[in-house]
Structure 1
């Protein structure tokens, strides 16, 4: 259940806040007379995927509290991708052909998002907003004009992830590492880029081992990686296969010096392996800039769900949903998918009127847009600005596991991240 927003205690701000509240309630009531559908393709059957979908729903709920999009209540039609390409494509086709959605949120894994984009979204002229797909193949596709401007992601590319991961490996003093990577578009891209960055830093990659999903055992892969006598490993995996593989790695005497991708920043993974075996493990994650809007998201998320956001892609999911809905508002009620995609620039304009990522911010954005202005969305990941390929940049953090979750060790500013790129 969505909790009510806290009202400001300052007297000068009270009257306008009350006026805005009345307007929001009036708009919300009017929005019940019509509805508009958007699609969400997330791995909701997986423990780590469900919160990503719930965070997107959170953004939808806030927009509906503000009166909906163009006076209509927004329905988020969720379908489970199971993080499987075929299942994801079938889900996308159903959302577009049967549910007649205006846009798609998702998917999560690059290996699921790519076939959805190329076989469903682009042919149908439907924009796709992904929270978590990082493969650089999307950038190449956009540069070739094959995304038709319909692709946006609020998540940095694997090039960013690889550069930061290599820095963390070096900072940990590891000179020889083996890489385990998920055998999909994301993992293959990440693993290849990471190997290049590590070699550029003088770090030996003793082996890069592809890991397929849903295997009961990875003993052969672990044994292969051990043959190179690495000092530690890098795990570019999801919690499901990661839990099985890391338990086998440790049971066969593998080093506890491990560096993980942000996809393993998961309570399920920590509990499955055991926190006591992860005391020497660290990981990378993309981070929000140290700005008030990111702090505000943590506060509102905690009010909604009872705990701070802890897991991959949560702020990115919120921003993807909110930006998509703002673009729908800017494009107008009869807009095509191409119109919605084109309107993204109007709601992420660095020179636009700043609006907050919440119910009041959406209501304010509607007024600014109705007056012919542009807005600058300030969200859970800061001021989101897409380049011509639908990509974003972001700072990063190094983190470690604790008994109850994860804890940030250090913050890597966006300027430093940019300096790391292209160094291999």
Structure 2
């Protein structure tokens, strides 16, 4: 399935940021929710615009508990300190009880531990995958306030190892960003590669903002790997890959979804990315996921091809459904307690759009539960606020980012089980 470029999508979606559609019956009240998302990077703008798209649909359907929703958006710049400051402002100044975000686990974790947990605010992330959240929840330290619609790093790590095995690579060096997310996925992919009998010649951490990564690249080159695995964001990814190629490193590359970016492809050069394959979680091949693609394309005149878009939509819709179920004036904890009620497999199925939200209002008001059929399928959270997901393998082409292989949820789970 060929896709359009993220750059064009980002420009079109950027215009949608901050737009609050108030078609339909006017409301005398407004309820604020917070969003901390990286709108200063090319792939972050569409994620934020997709969250606003969900808010707009709910407002068109009459809002939450009769009030229009205002999504107050602040930029994290994919920086933990900036993200924490943004979240504090939303909680302390705007009084939000629901916070959407963040994208990077390295930003979401300090927001969770230093802002939302102390304030009793529910946090719903579209795009944080570190297994550190699972551990924290399993220890009872998230107090039921944490959810994410993106599968853990374990899925991407396993798929990265699968790509290496399918390509016949015997040795791989790993570059990972030196933050919570990078450390987590770097450790996981190393274990998965070794479980498949593939030698890990080196595992090298990259710190953000360095003027050069020559020392780190030289270290990794010493192991003479057949391929490299990259768990980096575009800024350091571009710099590291340029150094790698200039010093004669292999063009056999496997990349995490954080590099699913036109910025990365354009600054490295497509001529050097012919042997690059990426991994990402995916929406299931389900009617609800197809319906989201159709509605999204109608809204933005471009398919939802960037990372985290379907996840952002579902995170927003589920949070708003939980607010509706909790009732007007509910606390963050009371809202979080209703997530299971709006994602209940025994409940009434509802579609992921304004009509579905309106239907949910009727069911919930009569004391029933609903089962949200989302952009990422029939969303269900486990006791730690985690979800499972299928996966895709993708590549960079002249036409944009192109899907090469779809791996169903059953296939993902079976492959991950085999690694153990």
Q: What TM-score bracket applies, with the shorter chain setting the length? A: over 0.9
Q: Residues 41 and 270 (structure 1 numbering): CA distance in 2 closer, same or farther, change over 3 Å?
A: same
Give matches, 1:325-404, under 5 Å: 325-404=320-399
Cα RMSD of the aligned pairs, angstroms, is 1.5
Post-superposition Cα deviations, 1:313-344, rounded to whole Å, max 9, x if no partner, equal: 11111110010001001110021111100110
Structure 2 equivalent of residue 162 of structure 1? 157
State the 1:26 CA deviation: 11
For the residue of structure 1 that corresponds to 2:323, the secondary structure is helix
**2:42 paired residue number:** 47
Tell whether the 8 Å contact from 2:22 to 2:56 is kept in structure 1 after alignment.
Answer: no
Local SS of the residue matching 1:29: coil
Q: Which residue of 2 aligns with 1:8?
A: none
8 A Cα contact 1:27 1:68, kept in partner: no
Q: Per the alignment, in what secondary structure is the counterpart of residue 394 of structure 2?
A: strand
Alpha-carbon displacement from aligned partner over 1:241-278 (angstroms, at most 9, x marks no partner): 11121122112221111101011111221111111211
| Displacement of 1:383 | 0.5
Q: Give SS of 1:421's match.
A: helix
**Equivalent position of 2:188 in the other structure:** 193
Map of 2:200 onto structure 1:
205
1:210-359 to structure 2, matched below 5 A, reads 210-359=205-354
Q: CA deviation at 1:214?
A: 2.1
8 Å CA contact 2:282–2:376 kept in 1: the answer is: yes
Q: Does residue 109 of structure 2 align to residue 126 of structure 1?
A: no
Q: Does residue 21 of structure 2 align to residue 29 of structure 1?
A: no
Question: TM-score, normalization: structure 2?
Answer: 0.93
Deviation digits for residues 19-47 of structure 1, max 9, x if unmatched? xxxxxx999414x2100000000111111
CA distance in 1, matches of 2:217, 2:185: 19
The secondary structure found in structure 1 opposite 2:406 is: strand
Instruction: Give me the whole-angstrom Cα distance separating, in 1, the residues matched to 2:250 and 2:125.
Output: 35
Mark the CA change 1:47 to 1:339 in structure 2 (over 3 Å): closer, same or farther: same
* Distance change (3 Å), C-alpha of 1:193 and 1:201: same
The C-alpha deviation readout for 1:161-195, integer Å capped at 9, x for no partner, is 21121111111111101000011000001001111
Number of equivalent positions: 401
CA distance in 2, matches of 1:400, 1:45: 24
1:215 is displaced (CA, Å) by 2.3
Contact in 2 for aligned 1:28/1:68 (Cα 8 Å) = no
Cα distance in 1 for residues equivalent to 2:291 and 2:260: 22
Equivalent residues in 2 for 1:72-91, closer than 5 Å: 72-91=67-86
Aligned mates of 1:28, 1:329 — CA distance in 2: 18
TM-score normalized by structure 1?
A: 0.92
In 1, Cα distance between equivalents of 2:374 and 2:211: 40
| Structure 2, unaligned runs of 5 or more | 1-11, 14-20
CA distance in 1, matches of 2:409, 2:73: 33
Residue among 407, 414, 417 paired with 1:419: 414
Q: Distance in 1 between matches of 2:343 and 2:321?
A: 9
Runs in 1 of length 4+ with deviation above 4 angstroms? none
Q: Does 1:93 align with 2:88?
A: yes
- For structure 1, which runs of at least 5 residues remain unmatched after alignment? 3-24
